[in-house]
């Protein structure tokens, strides 16, 4: 008999089909009354397949008495109650590595778009304003400048490699220095003060909540650019909006927000911010690799084998 797996949110048709081959999939997002649905199917569920945003709360896991494994299609685990999983001996898996390069590409896309004003430039050419009003104002150079990476992990390193290719000097802030060719800063605000661009690639969760606060944003300064491809929770969104509006920060490129999919109106109305609806890993290739890894983690678990990408608890 196929093990019963609860899927929290819709994915691509291919990912769903891949999950349905080895498992009996129960679709939580289609339930009109999720609590009643969980009461009905909960006792049979042995695995959860979820994404980074939905994760797996203690409440959800608590409704599944036979739960053995949570497989997340994301690298970020801030929406998974790891304490609850550990206490109950529930195994957790995520999808690191396969998404690293795409998220780093997105960071660069946002940095370049913000600095070179690609979106307003597109509007200027597209609308005919170029012919009517003439050239747009000059933009900011990226190559040859200095960038700070906040959270030098796998994705941060991939961003750093790209920046090096553009002759951008790289420094970083982590809680502790790590083995790397880049200069370490013990304080995020000191790093921000010394660079032109701050790229946020830190893990989300309580440990990094509000790390990019008003002080860090203002240290980056009126010519600085902030890029966030990590989690909205790492940045004080209100302080960021104020700084962008008041000329205390030049521009920002944001793929993530504090309360997704809500993007505050105050942020949406600013011309000096480039917005993306959390698309860092959202390419056909990477999403297929992530879906495959979710299935392989679940299959390995139910076959009593080592998981390809377990999360140490």
Q: Are 107 and 229 in contact (CB under 8 A)?
A: yes
Structure tokens at 169: 């000097």
> How many angstroms separate the CA atoms of 276 and 107, rounded?
11
Beta bridge partners of 226: 198, 252
Q: Does 254 contact ligand GLV by CB under 6 A?
A: no
55-94 binders of ligand GLV (CB under 6 A) = 74-76
Q: Does 99 contact ligand GLV by CB under 6 A?
A: yes
Residue among 3, 52, 153, 232 that touches ligand GLV (CB under 6 A): 52
Structure tokens at 56: 């797996």
Beta bridge partners of 169: 146
Smallest distance from ligand GLV to CB 142, Å: 24
* Interior angle at CA 79, CA 78 and CA 80, nearest 5: 95
Quick count: other Cβ atoms within 10 Å of Cβ 310?
A: 15
131-150 binders of ligand GLV (CB under 6 A) = none
Measuring CA to CA, which residue among 273, 236, 276, 272 is closest to residue 256? 276
Q: Does 15 contact ligand GLV by CB under 6 A?
A: no
Catalytic residue, from 84, 157, 278, 301: name it. 278
Q: Which residue is nearest to ligand GLV (CB)?
A: 76
Catalytic residue, from 26, 231, 296, 301: name it. 231
Give catalytic status of residue 176 as yes or no. no
Smallest distance from ligand GLV to CB 281, Å: 5
> How many angstroms separate the CA atoms of 134 and 304, rounded?
67
Structure tokens at 216: 């860090």
Residues binding ligand GLV: number (CB under 6 A): 7
Give catalytic status of residue 231 as yes or no. yes
DSSP 28: G
Smallest distance from ligand GLV to CB 77, Å: 8
Q: Which is nearer to ligand GLV, 142 or 234 (CB)?
A: 234
Smallest distance from ligand GLV to CB 254, Å: 13
272-301 binders of ligand GLV (CB under 6 A) = 280-281
Measuring CA to CA, which residue among 148, 117, 165, 156 is closest to residue 219? 148
Q: Are 146 and 195 in contact (CB under 8 A)?
A: yes
Q: Does 114 contact ligand GLV by CB under 6 A?
A: no
Q: Are 212 and 238 in contact (CB under 8 A)?
A: no
Q: Does 232 contact ligand GLV by CB under 6 A?
A: no
- Count each helix (H run) and each strand (E run) in the chain, helices first: 13, 12
Q: Does 156 contact ligand GLV by CB under 6 A?
A: no
Smallest distance from ligand GLV to CB 209, Å: 16
Largest CA distance in the chain: 68
Smallest distance from ligand GLV to CB 290, Å: 8
Q: Which is nearer to ligand GLV, 76 or 253 (CB)?
A: 76
Give catalytic status of residue 84 as yes or no. no
Which residues make up the interface to ligand GLV (CB under 6 A)?
52, 74-76, 99, 280-281
Q: Which residues are catalytic?
A: 231, 260, 278
């Amino acid at each position: 008999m196929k093990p019963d797996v609860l899927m929290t949110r819709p994915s691509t048709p291919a990912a769903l089909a891949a999950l349905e081959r080895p498992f009996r999939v129960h679709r939580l997002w289609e339930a009109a009354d999720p609590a009643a649905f969980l009461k009905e199917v909960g006792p049979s569920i042995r695995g959860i397949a979820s994404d980074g945003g939905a994760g797996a709360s203690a409440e959800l896991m608590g409704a599944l008495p036979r739960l053995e494994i949570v497989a997340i299609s994301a690298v970020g685990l801030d929406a998974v109650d790891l304490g609850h999983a550990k206490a109950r001996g529930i195994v957790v898996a995520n999808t690191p590595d396969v998404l690293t390069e795409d998220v780093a590409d997105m960071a660069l896309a946002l940095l370049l778009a913000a600095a070179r004003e690609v979106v307003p430039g597109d509007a200027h050419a597209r609308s005919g304003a170029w012919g009517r009003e003439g050239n747009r104002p000059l933009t900011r150079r990226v190559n040859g400048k200095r960038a700070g990476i906040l959270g030098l992990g796998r994705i941060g390193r991939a961003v750093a490699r790209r920046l090096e290719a553009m002759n951008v000097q790289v420094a970083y802030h982590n809680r502790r220095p790590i083995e790397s060719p880049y200069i370490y800063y013990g304080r995020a605000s000191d790093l921000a003060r010394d660079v032109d661009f701050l790229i946020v690639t830190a893990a989300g969760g309580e440990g990094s909540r509000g790390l990019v606060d008003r002080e860090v944003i203002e240290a980056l300064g009126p010519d600085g650019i902030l890029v966030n491809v990590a989690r909205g929770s790492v940045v004080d969104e209100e302080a960021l909006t104020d700084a962008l509006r008041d000329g205390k920060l030049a521009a920002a490129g944001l793929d993530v927000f504090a309360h997704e999919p809500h993007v505050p109106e105050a942020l949406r109305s600013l011309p000096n911010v480039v917005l993306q609806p959390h698309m860092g890993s959202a390419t056909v290739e990477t999403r297929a690799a992530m879906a495959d890894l979710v299935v392989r983690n679940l299959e390995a678990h139910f076959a009593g084998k080592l998981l390809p990408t377990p999360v140490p608890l």
